[in-house]
Every structure is written in structure tokens, then in C-alpha cells.
Amino acid sequence: LTPYSTPVCTADGIIFDVASITPYLMKHKVDPVTGRSMTSRDLIILQMDKDESTGVWQCPVLNKSFTNRTKIVAIKQPGSNEANVYSYEAYHELNVKAKNNLDLISGLKFRKEDVIVLQDPEDEAHCKLRDIANFKHTKQLREDERVRQDASAMKDEKGKLLKASDDGDVSSSKSTVPAMTIYTDELLSAITLTSGKASGSLTSTAMNITRENTAREATQDEIIKSQCEQLRRLKKKGTIRMFTNLGAMDVEIHCDIVPMTAMNFMLLAEKGEYDGSKFHRSIPNFMIQGGKRAKEKGDTGGEGSSYWGKPFQDEFDDRLTHTGAGQFSMANSGPATNGRQFFITYKSCAHLNRKHSVFGKVIRGIEVLQRMEQIPTNKDSDRPLETVKIESMEILDNPVSEALELERERILKRKVEKKE
């Protein structure tokens, strides 16, 4: 066995050192092996015996050192979160064969379900479970890395493959991927906008008569609208974990209801645009506002641009209102002026309904918001007198990346169909 300082195990028999597993559980609240919900209270403390002369773990009954070939079990003690560790040989001979259901050290009566297998070289399934490469956490890291790489590649392509407007790329990437022009008949929309050649030819003496209308090249706004429609059709919520210097909050993002606002926020978060930014305005019994670029990233103190580099339209829906604490909503300076700044409500603010776009809500960590509200502020500027900032954001559920990939694939498929 690996040398542990303070060994603990899960109900599945996977051993960790308490100093390593506890911080992980505090942050993620899931079993790193299975991905199931878990806290430090679910850990079982292992009482293990060690050979004083060699420092190697051993069976306390047979005094035989544990090796990688030893089958090892733990017997959970009734009414506690502790378990005594033995070689399976000792347990089998002195408990199973002897029909003795008393713990060999404590003498307490135990049940069959109290016996936890910690190591079994002959059990292939159990060995796979103990292989770190198969841990849910490890797989998730690999998947997250793949998604990040895909998302990064997608951003590189969007400026060229998804044809940004003349004002500038949707992505600032300098990718060498060949440009792909998008036409209006390739977008998700109720109508197909055309070049107008047919009508123009009938009213202009300078044009040849034609009865064909060809789809024209799509604008950036039309492309974004099509992407948002794809996101809406997924009917999925996004989830972001916002780490602040006062604690972490899990935020549900309404990608299925306000797709443009949700896409803007999640793409900015994915790029790390909110990392290090401060909440610059807090009014108790009202809201706290943030989202400016951190100074080290070039904060000019202004409103700050959206992911697309320009303000975008409001998205209102009667299902989303400023009701209760923890509502995420866009800050603005008037209709259709949304950028990157947002606010979080401390309480209901019905007067803001249909004036500001609600796009998310706190689903875990509301106590962090309560701590923010308790920070004293400057009476003139409402600026918190103590730093309140976003340290980082972790995307837990990302339908935006899925929608963008689906849209890209759909457009490519549409182009192939048009050529056939």
C-alpha cells in the first residue's frame, strides 16, 4: 500500500490520505472516484497497524506485512466512522470460518455489510476502481481539457469559419484555418434573407432580368442570432462555479430562455475575462454589481464590451424576474446596451423587471452573497470598503460549447447538401 499519514477510505474501499482528500471534498463535494455526492463526513477513518521496525503496514493479528499482493479488508465499527484493518486471511480464518462476527480487536459485533474490501489483487473490477486513470475526477479533467481545447479551437474558427462582421472578428484569434463564408440560407431562422436580385432586375434597367433570388452573405448579428437559436433548442441550463475571496457560489445560467445573454456571460467566463475583477458597487437590501475587467487586464473603468465587442439587445421573459436574493441580471445604461457588467440581487427588485435581463440565479452558496452584503461601503460611491472580487470561474455545465459545435456542424452539412 502507498504510505499514508492518516488513511481514510470511502464506502467503496478506495483509500486516501485525509490531508489530500478533505480539500478536494470541500471544493467539489463529490467522490473523486465515482462522481457521486460526498462530504468529509462520509469518510471512514482506518485504524491500521504498522511494523515499528520497518514502518510497513501490517495485519495486527497475524503480524504479516501488507504487500501489493495482499487481500486487505476493513471492518467498520458500529456507531462510528472508524474501521479496523486486517488481512483477508485473518478475517477469513478467524471470523468467516469460525462463524465469529465479533471484531478481532474491539470485540464489537459487526454485520457482513460492515466489511469493506480495501485491496484484492484477484478482483479485476476492484483493481480498475483503484486505478487513478479510471477516477471520475481524472476522466473529468481529461474531458475538461478536451472541451477547453475544442472551445479554444472553436473560438479560433469563429472569426473565420463563422464569418465575423466588418467591425472585427468574433474571436481575436489569428488562426490559419481557411475562412468559410456563411450565407443566410444556412442559418437557423424563420425566413431566408436574399440578395434581392430578382426584384432588383425587374425595377432596374441596369440589371438583367432574373427570377432567381440567391441567399446573401450573413452578417455577424445574423450568425450570432442563429447560434443563439441553436442554444435555445438544446433546452439545457448552464452551471458556473464562481470563486470569490469570500467563498464559492454555484450559478445556474438560463441558456434555454435568454440564450444571447447566457452565451455572452459564459463565453466571457470561459476566457477568464471575469477572473480578478472586483465588485465595485454594493447597496444593502438591493444588489451588488461587478464584471468590469481587472486592471491588470486593461480595465478602463468603463462599461466594458460584450464578448462580441459591442452592446447587444435585451432579453426579457416573464419566467425570469428579479425575485428574491441571488438573481443574476445584466447592468445597462438603457435599452440594448448590455456589455459585460452584471449585478446580483440581495432581495426582490420588481421595479427592474423588463428593464434588465435576468440570466441566472445562485443555486448553492447563498451565504457568500450574504457575506458580501455585510461588507461596509462608501456612502457616496457605494464602493465596498473591503475588497470583494471574483478569483476565478469554473464552468460545470456548458451547453454553449455544445450549441456552437452543433451549429458549426449543421452549417458544414448544409453546405454539402447545397453542392449535391
Catalytic residues, by residue number, are 281, 286, 289, 332, 343, 352, 356
β-pairing, 44-47 with 82-87? parallel
With a CB cutoff of 8 Å and minimum separation 6, the contacts of 239 are: 250, 251, 252, 253, 363, 395, 396, 397
Cα angle vertex 120, ends 117, 122, to 5°? 140
Cβ proximity of 252 and 237 under 8 Å: yes
DSSP per position, 340-393: S-EEEESS--GGGTTTS-EEEEEEE-HHHHHHHHHS-B-TTT--BSS--BEEEE
Which run of H or E residues covers position 19? helix 18-28
**Cβ proximity of 341 and 224 under 8 Å:** no
Give the integer Cα–Cα distance in Å for 33 and 173.
Answer: 37
User: Could you tell me if 274 and 268 are in contact, meaning their C-beta atoms sit under 8 angstroms apart?
Assistant: yes
Pairing of strands 72-76, 247-253: unpaired
C-alpha cell of 391?
Answer: 478569483
Note the Cα 320 to chain centre separation in Å.
Answer: 22
